[in-house]
Structure 1
Amino acid sequence: MTMRGIPLWAWAAAAALYLAAAAAAMEFAWHRGLDALTDAGAHRLDLYAASLRSELGRYEILPALAARQDSIKTLLEAPRDSRRALLPAVNGYLEAVNKDAGSVAVDVIDLNGDVIAASNWNQPVSFVGTNVAYRPYFIDSISTGSGRFFGIGTNTGEPGLYFASAVRGGQKVLGAAAVKISVDPLEHAWRVPNEAAMVVDGNGVVVISTVPAWKFTALAPIAAQKQAQIQATRQYAGRKVEALGYERLDDWRNGAWFARLPDRAHPGRERRYLVMSRSAPQAGDAIMVVLDLSAARRQQQLAFAFVTGAFLIAALYALYAVQRRRVIAERLKAQDALQRANDRLEATVQQRTAALVTANERMQEEIDERARTEQKLRDSQQELVHAGKLAVLGQMAAGLTHEINQPLVAIRTLCDNARTFFERDQPAQAIANLERVGKLVENMAVLTAELKAFARKPETQTVPVPLGDAVAHARLIYEARIRDEGVHVDVDIAPDAIVEAEPGRLQQVIVNLLGNALDALAGRDERRIRIGARRADDPARVMFFIADNGPGIDPQVLAHLFEPFVTTKPRGHGLGLGLAITSRIVEGFGARISAANPDGGGAQFSIEFVAAESRQ
């Protein structure tokens, strides 16, 4: 029997080989993963032991140095009723030492075990007045000269490591000096993902741990007698030490072993870990590192996935080879039929190609004709825009004639007066008249330059143009009409209102709109025009508007206002092309123009330009 062309015995042999290879690969990966964990754990233990030794070494000598201070010896030798005068100096010294060392507290203890001076003498929680005669570090320091002890503070409830040293006056023990340090920095520095570290003291109690829930628990249940001794020293602030739930399982290589502990991520559950241990710098203590086995399990999963993938690829290749033989056979059978069909297709393609060539030639002719038509249309539009500008120039001619005639009359009069002054030998007055003539000529030159620039055919490329400059040029052209008709023009152009436009065409747009606004104010008692521009909500756009207080725009005309030959002016006063030309120019800038009748009356034209920097 076969399945997909392969015998069943071959499938069975492949399955057996796959299971054996997968089991061997997973076992090999498991061992390699555990060896890598033990190497990492040994390295971690070295680091933790070094950091603990360094941290303890920083503070171990501090009590001995404090015990040598004469002020502390004098305080302990003095009678109780005369110590008050000596306390400020000692307390200040202890406070400075504690601040410089970065410890929790430094204190002085008399032979009765009473703390008579402390660095936190002025804090809300002070050690002054506390009796520590039952603490092992005090007992050891009095009897042996030094003591070391890990416990929870009876005043603060905070765990810490205590160092103490006897204070001697000659051969006599006067008391002890002690320092308390916090282990929080160590716990913080030891925190590593997928790993836990802890220090176990001589009682088998976890006193330092990167897992807060494990602190002050015992690796094994503590006997009642031992519990009583612990309670007597109040080493753990009087709390009963509970068992952690630690169970040692099988051993592994390099001093590592498996153990069952509470799951760090899921309280209430247990989990198997790889544990390694090393003696701590403090006698009787041990540093333990608890390593998560998930990395080794991932190695197993990767090995399983690799073997599975390899066998799947082999199986797929076998199926592909069988299927390929079938396809080749079918392809040979179909090759003759395909050749016949190909011959017929080539004949059809030749016929269709001839038809497509003919159609393509006709299409190319149409494209060329359309291109010529579009070029003619652009030329016509350009001439229409220029004609519109000349029409505006014609409308402005009357006002400009008055503006030019007045300076000419003044120039004629000033020249006659200058000749008279020269004849009278008064050159100073004659020169003053000639200077006034020069200023009048300059004013006329500015006006004619604006007209020349306005009449010039526009450029074909947009550039950044400040709207304030374009409005100023337009106002200059209509300055005489604005003054003679008593129109109040209010301009509010933001400094950053710079748009992409062709300067000449932009000026023509504003001139057309300003001229329409002046026309709309004819016959009004109060004549006002507002012009403004500022950035829109979209920083890539600039909003420009020009509004008047005229009669507004007929609503029936408003919808068709920008169409050619649509006008609100009387017959003979316009062809209705100004706004149509303006609309085409604005659209050429990539802008949008609109008209409306505001609630306050009058008409308003708005243009939404493209900001200049948005195209950089």
Structure 2
Amino acid sequence: MGCDASRSGAARAWRRRAPGHREVEHQVKIKGLPLWAWAVAALLYVGMAAAALELAWNRAIDALAEAGAHQLDLYGASLKSELGRFETMPAIVARQDSVRALLEAGPRATAALLHSVNTYLEAVNHEAGSVAVDVIDLQGSVIAASNWNQPVSFVGTNVSYRPYFKDALAHGAGRFFGIGTNTGIPGLYFASAVRDGGTPIGAAAIKISVDELESAWRRPNEAAMVIDRNGVIVISTVAAWKFTALRPITAEQQRELQASRQYAGRNVEPLRYTRIGDWGAGAWLGRFPDPRRPGHTTRYLVMSRPAPQAGDSIMVLLDVAGARRQQEVALGFVTGGFLIAGLYALYAMQRRRTIAEKLKAQDALRRANDELEATVAQRTAALTQTNERMQQEIAERKRTEARLRESQQEVVHAGKLAVLGQMAAGLTHELSQPLVAIRTLCDNARTFFERDQPAQAIANLERVSRLVDNMATLTGELKAFARKPVVERVAVSLNEAVAHARLIYDARIRSEAVQIDMRIPPGTFVCAEASQLQQVVVNLLGNALDAVRDEEKRVIVLDAVESDDTGRVLFSIADSGTGIAQEVLDHLFEPFVTTKPRGHGLGLGLAITSRIVEAFGAKIWAVNRADGGARFNIEFASAKSAKGVADGR
């Protein structure tokens, strides 16, 4: 007891000798942590954030480069297929006896022979779907053409300056991309020499349009183009970039282009772009003019490879905005982790303060007990009992606090598990149906390849690509569940959304012998967003299929009625199932409400569907039909004006 008293006295004396120790300690600490700890934490955060941004960027660009290589394969195959359809046609025309007879007769050709050749060329052009088919004499004059009876006819036009004509006479065949001097329409020319005993007596030429090819290549957040040997963009999904050069055109090249009138006499201007840096083999990053926003630029990942046509190349530009968004997500994760760590550190410091205060209180109690024992010996027993009771109270408080901390940790853990469960359930529910469609399309594509039908197989693979893009958007639905989504409402075809849903469930509809009754008038357009409207119809059709699966009568009716007075479209999906219980019907669109057996759904599908529909400015409700089954109704805003624009195209 004397030793304790001396130590306590020494401590009090030290505190008296150092009255400013608390002020000094406060100067080197901020909220309980020293300045160096805050500096280390800040440096650690900056380093981890930079590493996360770099990792997210590299992974996103690598994935984009892989997608770009796939796109280049598809574009190269489609270009080769398109060129192969027409490349041999001039040689076939050159072997026609009437064509050879017309060139041999020259000015002495009879009107009947000329009319026969013209009608033959007209029939060939019609069957092939080309722009024009011509027969050219040795002087380069078109003496017969498929458009001989059109207001703008090529008959009489001299094309001796065109490289495809010169190459045909010199080498037997020629190929050339240019703008028509008569029509101003760009196209690709193929030519073949017409021979008489090995001596050229003229040439046959065909011109094809690339407009359909450009339309097929056009995709969002992507640009595709073909660059000729001069470095000039001749095929492009961005109209503003067409016939601009990716490399400088010299004065001599300009003179040669003017002489051949390849670009209808216009000067080729350079495309103003900036090369930022390389990315692996055959890819680089660059900034190109944004055609939708004059004066602005867009950052792209650029990839290219040689085209089937000698000297040309195919280039694809992929918007890297998605990589930036992934960087933002990575930065958010790092920041969130540091915030959680900071909160935990503050909690730990607060707990240490609490323990220190309790220890100080216990120390004060012991000192008071010692003083009482020294001054009032007669009350020792009573004070001892009081001290024991206080110790018991302190122990009980500690046990209570320990139980409270355990309860708090259990609540936090349960909250984390609930969030993870919602995310996993949403992803499973939303991705299962597109995966079934992808499997069906892949099986069909394999069958088409086995039947040597690559066109149908490629079409199926393109559908798979679109479904994969849609699945990427589905992963954002759980985030959309937590807040009201903001979408851009445009005119969307209700028929196409229903056709998309039927394609996904096509195998199931056939296997379960479900009768689908369509009552949607053609050309019904509503105000919505295309991919999200498709997801709404997929969810509702899937629920209807589940409802009739065990029924003897399996009928699903899809109906749409447009009101000119209200400007609204009422769309409904009705089934012949057992209907919905009233206690469930009142809460049907709430999260985790489901009529399915355990293990077959968590009740997120209709809640997500409701939020998507509300974002369209529409409303959804469900009722039980009088003759059995349930009907889901959605009232959309009509889009007649948008429909007119779509029909005009």
TM-score with structure 2 setting the length: 0.49
Q: Distance in 1 between matches of 2:106 and 2:281?
A: 60
Pair 1:122-2:149 in alignment: yes
Matching residue within 305, 317, 339 for 2:344: 317
C-alpha change, 1:613 and 1:54, in structure 2 (3 Å) is closer
Partner of 2:117: 90
Q: Could you list the per-position Cα deviations for residues 418-453 of structure 1 after superposition, in whole angstroms to 9, with x for gaps in the alignment?
A: xxxxxxxxxxxxxxxxxxxxxxxxxxxxxxxxxxxx
Q: Distance in 2 between matches of 1:302 and 1:73?
A: 69
Partner of 2:138: 111
Pair 1:11-2:38 in alignment: yes
| Offset, 1:189 | 1.3
Q: Which is worse superposed, 254-263 or 318-327?
A: 318-327
1:388-403 matched pairs, under 5 angstroms: none
CA contact (8 A) 2:284 2:303 kept: yes
1:16-415 matched pairs, under 5 angstroms: 16-323=43-350
Query: Given residue 54 of structure 1, which amino acid in structure 2 is its aligned partner?
Result: S
Q: Could you list the per-position Cα deviations for residues 472-517 of structure 1 after superposition, in whole angstroms to 9, with x for gaps in the alignment?
A: xxxxxxxxxxxxxxxxxxxxxxxxxxxxxxxxxxxxxxxxxxxxxx
SS at match of 1:245: coil
| Offset, 1:321 | 4.3
Q: Could you list the per-position Cα deviations for residues 135-155 of structure 1 after superposition, in whole angstroms to 9, with x for gaps in the alignment?
A: 110111011110000000111
SS at match of 1:85: helix
Q: Distance in 2 between matches of 1:83 and 1:131?
A: 21
Query: Given residue 25 of structure 1, which amino acid in structure 2 is its aligned partner?
Result: A
CA contact (8 A) 1:38 1:254 kept: no
Q: Distance in 2 between matches of 1:613 and 1:44?
A: 52
| Offset, 1:4 | 4.2
Q: Could you list the per-position Cα deviations for residues 377-418 of structure 1 after superposition, in whole angstroms to 9, with x for gaps in the alignment?
A: xxxxxxxxxxxxxxxxxxxxxxxxxxxxxxxxxxxxxxxxxx
Query: Given residue 254 of structure 1, which amino acid in structure 2 is its aligned partner?
Result: A
Query: Given residue 223 of structure 2, which amino acid in structure 1 is its aligned partner?
Result: A
Query: Given residue 271 of structure 2, which amino acid in structure 1 is its aligned partner?
Result: L
1:414-425 matched pairs, under 5 angstroms: none
Q: Distance in 1 between matches of 2:134 and 2:88?
A: 14
CA contact (8 A) 2:298 2:319 kept: no
1:489-568 matched pairs, under 5 angstroms: none
CA contact (8 A) 1:107 1:178 kept: yes
| Offset, 1:165 | 0.4
Partner of 1:513: none
Q: What is the aligned length?
A: 343
CA contact (8 A) 1:220 1:246 kept: no
* Structure 1: gaps (5+ residues): 340-536, 538-611
Query: Given residue 270 of structure 1, which amino acid in structure 2 is its aligned partner?
Result: T
Partner of 2:595: none
Q: Distance in 2 between matches of 1:179 and 1:222?
A: 28
| Offset, 1:115 | 1.1
Q: Distance in 2 between matches of 1:26 and 1:238?
A: 49
CA contact (8 A) 1:277 1:288 kept: yes
C-alpha change, 1:85 and 1:40, in structure 2 (3 Å) is same
Q: Which is worse superposed, 295-304 or 145-154?
A: 295-304
| Offset, 1:327 | 8.3
| Offset, 1:316 | 2.3
Q: Distance in 2 between matches of 1:283 and 1:97?
A: 26
Q: Distance in 2 between matches of 1:312 and 1:123?
A: 75
Query: Given residue 66 of structure 2, which amino acid in structure 1 is its aligned partner?
Result: D
Partner of 1:456: none
Q: Distance in 2 between matches of 1:253 and 1:300?
A: 20
C-alpha change, 1:78 and 1:300, in structure 2 (3 Å) is same
Query: Given residue 231 of structure 1, which amino acid in structure 2 is its aligned partner?
Result: Q
Query: Given residue 110 of structure 1, which amino acid in structure 2 is its aligned partner?
Result: D
Q: Could you list the per-position Cα deviations for residues 349-383 of structure 1 after superposition, in whole angstroms to 9, with x for gaps in the alignment?
A: xxxxxxxxxxxxxxxxxxxxxxxxxxxxxxxxxxx
| Offset, 1:320 | 3.9
Partner of 2:371: none
Q: Which is worse superposed, 318-327 or 6-15?
A: 318-327
| Offset, 1:307 | 0.6
C-alpha change, 1:24 and 1:97, in structure 2 (3 Å) is same
Partner of 1:559: none
| Offset, 1:249 | 3.9
Query: Given residue 327 of structure 2, which amino acid in structure 1 is its aligned partner?
Result: Q
Q: Distance in 1 between matches of 2:275 and 2:176?
A: 27
Q: Distance in 2 between matches of 1:150 and 1:325?
A: 80
Q: Could you list the per-position Cα deviations for residues 262-298 of structure 1 after superposition, in whole angstroms to 9, with x for gaps in the alignment?
A: 2343222334432221111111111111222212222
Q: Distance in 2 between matches of 1:159 and 1:320?
A: 72
Q: Could you list the per-position Cα deviations for residues 298-335 of structure 1 after superposition, in whole angstroms to 9, with x for gaps in the alignment?
A: 2222211111111112222333444567789999x9xx
CA contact (8 A) 1:67 1:176 kept: yes
Query: Given residue 88 of structure 1, which amino acid in structure 2 is its aligned partner?
Result: H
CA contact (8 A) 2:98 2:117 kept: yes
| Offset, 1:29 | 1.4
The CA RMSD measured in Å over matched residues stands at 3.0
Query: Given residue 116 of structure 1, which amino acid in structure 2 is its aligned partner?
Result: I
SS at match of 2:195: strand
TM-score with structure 1 setting the length: 0.52
CA contact (8 A) 1:151 1:236 kept: yes
SS at match of 1:232: helix
CA contact (8 A) 1:200 1:285 kept: yes
Q: Distance in 1 between matches of 2:166 and 2:55?
A: 55
Query: Given residue 132 of structure 1, which amino acid in structure 2 is its aligned partner?
Result: V
Structure exhibiting the larger radius of gyration computed from Cα positions: 1
